[in-house]
Structure 1
Amino acid sequence: MLRFAVPPGRLVDLLPVAVGEGAGWELAAGDALTPSTALNPRRRPDAAGRFGLTVDLPKPGAATWLDLDGERIALVTTRGRRAAGMSKRQRFVDFELLPSRFGLAVLALADDLAVRPDLDGVAVGREGGLAVSSVMQRAETALAEAGAPAIDPEAWARGRSGNLRAVLRSQFAAAAAAPPGERGPLRVAHARTLIAAGLDLEGLTALETAAADDPLVAMQRETSLWRGLALLRAGRLAEARAALGGDVLQRDSEAVLWRSVAEAGLGLWREAETGFGRTLNLAGRLPEDLRDFVLAAAAESAIESGDIDAAVSRMDAAAKRDPLVRDRLALVKGRVEELTGQTVAALDRYERLEVAAAAPVAAAAGLRRTLLALGTAKMSSGEALARLERLALTWRGGPTEEAIIAGLARSYATAGRFREAFATTRRAAMAFPASEMARVLNGEAQSLFDALYLGGRGDALPGVEAVALYFDFKEFAPIGRRGDEVVRRLADRLVGLDLLDSAADLLQHQIDHRLTGQARAAVAARLATVRLMDGKPLQALEAIDATHLPELPADLRRARALVRARALSDLSRTDLALETIEDESGPDVARLRADILWAARRWRGPARRTRRCWARSGAAPNPSTRPPAPM
Structure 2
Amino acid sequence: MRPLVVITASLSLTASGLAQTVPPKTQEPAPADAAKPAEPPVEPENSDGQPLDKLPRLPGFAASLANEPPITDVSGWKTLPDQDAWKAIVGSTERSRQSARWQLARSLLGKGRAPEAYGVLVAMGEDDPDLALVATYRLALGAALVGLGRFPDALAALSAELLATNPEACAWRMRALAGAAMPADALQQWACARPAIAARRGKTRATFMLAAADAALQANQPALALALVQKMPEADPAANLIRGRSLFRLDKVQDAKMRLNQAKGNGSPEQRVDARIALLEGLAERDLVKPKQAYDDLERLSYIWRGGQIERRGLMLRLKLATEMDNHPAMLRTGAALFRYHPAAMDSSILLAGLHDRLRMILAPESKISLPDAAGLFWEYRDLSPAGAGGDFLVSQLADRLQGARLYDRAAELLNYQMTARAKDVAQGPLSVRVAKLYILEGRPEQALRALRGSDGNIYPEEIVWDRLRMEAIALHLLGRTDEALAVLDGVPDGAAIRNEIEWSRRNWRAFVDSDRQLPTRPGQLTEVEQTVVLRRAVALAMLGREAALAQLRARYAAIFAELPTATAFDLLTGPVDQLDTEKIARAMAAMPTASPAGDVADLLTGAAPAAPKLSPRKTT
Q: TM-score normalised to the size of structure 2? A: 0.51
CA spacing shift, 1:282–1:607, aligned 2, 3 Å = farther
Say which one has the larger Rg: 2
Mapping for residues 170-209 of structure 1, pairs under 5 Å:
173=87, 188-189=102-103, 191-204=105-118
Q: 1:473 aligns with which of 375, 381, 394?
A: 381
CA spacing shift, 1:497–1:603, aligned 2, 3 Å = farther
Q: CA deviation at 1:399?
A: 1.5
Which one-letter code corresponds to 2:244 in the other structure?
Answer: G
1:350 aligns with 2:260: yes
Q: CA deviation at 1:384?
A: 2.4
CA contact (8 A) 2:72 2:169 kept: no
1:311 aligns with 2:232: no
Q: Partners of 2:96 and 2:415 in 1: how far apart?
A: 76
CA spacing shift, 1:216–1:500, aligned 2, 3 Å = closer
Q: Partners of 2:338 and 2:517 in 1: how far apart?
A: 58
Corresponding residue for 2:201?
288
Corresponding residue for 1:486?
394
CA contact (8 A) 2:213 2:226 kept: yes
Q: CA deviation at 1:320?
A: 1.8
Corresponding residue for 1:399?
309
Q: CA deviation at 1:450?
A: 1.7
Q: CA deviation at 1:485?
A: 3.9
CA spacing shift, 1:494–1:300, aligned 2, 3 Å = same
Which one-letter code corresponds to 1:402 in the other structure?
Answer: R
Which one-letter code corresponds to 2:243 in the other structure?
Answer: K
Q: CA deviation at 1:449?
A: 0.4
CA contact (8 A) 1:273 1:301 kept: yes
Q: Partners of 1:200 and 1:341 in 2: how far apart?
A: 39
Q: 2:232 aligns with which of 320, 334, 352?
A: 320
Q: Partners of 2:398 and 2:373 in 1: how far apart?
A: 11
Q: Partners of 1:368 and 1:438 in 2: how far apart?
A: 24
Mapping for residues 97-112 of structure 1, pairs under 5 Å:
none
Q: Partners of 1:388 and 1:281 in 2: how far apart?
A: 37
Corresponding residue for 1:241?
155
Corresponding residue for 2:181?
267
Q: CA deviation at 1:299?
A: 1.6
Q: 1:16-71 deviations in whole A, cap 9, x for unaligned?
A: xxxxxxxxxxxxxxxxxxxxxxxxxxxxxxxxxxxxxxxxxxxxxxxxxxxxxxxx
Q: Partners of 1:606 and 1:509 in 2: how far apart?
A: 50
Q: CA deviation at 1:365?
A: 1.8
Q: Partners of 2:309 and 2:251 in 1: how far apart?
A: 23
1:333 aligns with 2:243: yes
* Number of matched pairs: 421
CA contact (8 A) 2:245 2:282 kept: no
CA contact (8 A) 2:135 2:160 kept: no
Which one-letter code corresponds to 2:377 in the other structure?
Answer: L
Q: Partners of 1:396 and 1:510 in 2: how far apart?
A: 32
Q: Partners of 2:134 and 2:414 in 1: how far apart?
A: 62
Mapping for residues 377-396 of structure 1, pairs under 5 Å:
377-396=287-306
Q: 1:485-520 deviations in whole A, cap 9, x for unaligned?
A: 4334323422331245876898999999989xxxxx
Q: Partners of 1:510 and 1:233 in 2: how far apart?
A: 43
CA contact (8 A) 2:399 2:414 kept: yes
SS at structure 2 position matched to 1:394: coil
CA contact (8 A) 1:210 1:218 kept: no
Q: Partners of 1:595 and 1:219 in 2: how far apart?
A: 83
Q: 1:300 aligns with which of 183, 204, 214?
A: 214
SS at structure 2 position matched to 1:475: helix
Q: Partners of 2:121 and 2:213 in 1: how far apart?
A: 30
Which has the larger share of strand? 1
CA contact (8 A) 1:273 1:302 kept: yes
Q: Partners of 2:532 and 2:129 in 1: how far apart?
A: 95
Q: 1:154-198 deviations in whole A, cap 9, x for unaligned?
A: 677x95xxxx8xx55456556766776566556545554444344
Q: CA deviation at 1:207?
A: 5.6
CA spacing shift, 1:179–1:455, aligned 2, 3 Å = same
Q: 1:363-384 deviations in whole A, cap 9, x for unaligned?
A: 2221122233344343334432
CA contact (8 A) 2:265 2:272 kept: yes
Corresponding residue for 1:255?
169
SS at structure 2 position matched to 1:338: helix
CA contact (8 A) 2:213 2:228 kept: yes
CA contact (8 A) 1:283 1:294 kept: no
Which one-letter code corresponds to 2:359 in the other structure?
Answer: F
Which one-letter code corresponds to 1:288 in the other structure?
Answer: R
1:279 aligns with 2:189: no
SS at structure 2 position matched to 1:378: coil
CA spacing shift, 1:308–1:575, aligned 2, 3 Å = farther
Q: Partners of 1:345 and 1:573 in 2: how far apart?
A: 93
Which one-letter code corresponds to 1:286 in the other structure?
Answer: A
Q: 1:230-286 deviations in whole A, cap 9, x for unaligned?
A: 44345454553343234653564532331221121232334434444x624434543
1:366 aligns with 2:276: yes
CA spacing shift, 1:190–1:470, aligned 2, 3 Å = closer
SS at structure 2 position matched to 1:396: coil
CA spacing shift, 1:187–1:450, aligned 2, 3 Å = same
CA contact (8 A) 1:373 1:379 kept: yes
Question: Where does structure 1 lack aligned partners over 5 or more consecutive residues?
Answer: 1-146, 516-522, 536-541, 547-563, 583-589, 611-626
Which one-letter code corresponds to 2:361 in the other structure?
Answer: A
Which one-letter code corresponds to 1:279 in the other structure?
Answer: C
CA contact (8 A) 2:72 2:166 kept: no
Q: CA deviation at 1:297?
A: 0.8
Q: CA deviation at 1:347?
A: 3.4
Q: CA deviation at 1:226?
A: 3.7
Which of 383-392 and 182-191 deviates more?
Answer: 182-191
Greater RCO structure (CA 8 Å; 6+ sep): 1
Which one-letter code corresponds to 1:473 in the other structure?
Answer: Y
SS at structure 2 position matched to 1:498: coil
CA spacing shift, 1:388–1:507, aligned 2, 3 Å = closer
Q: CA deviation at 1:221?
A: 3.8
CA contact (8 A) 1:184 1:217 kept: no
Question: Where does structure 2 lack aligned partners over 5 or more consecutive residues?
Answer: 1-67, 425-430, 444-462, 468-493, 502-515, 536-556, 566-589, 594-621
Q: Partners of 1:197 and 1:503 in 2: how far apart?
A: 60
RMSD, matched Cα: 5.9
Q: Partners of 1:452 and 1:259 in 2: how far apart?
A: 44
1:495 aligns with 2:403: yes
SS at structure 2 position matched to 1:379: coil
Q: 1:376 aligns with which of 286, 300, 304?
A: 286
CA contact (8 A) 1:491 1:503 kept: yes
Q: Partners of 1:510 and 1:216 in 2: how far apart?
A: 49
CA spacing shift, 1:356–1:477, aligned 2, 3 Å = same
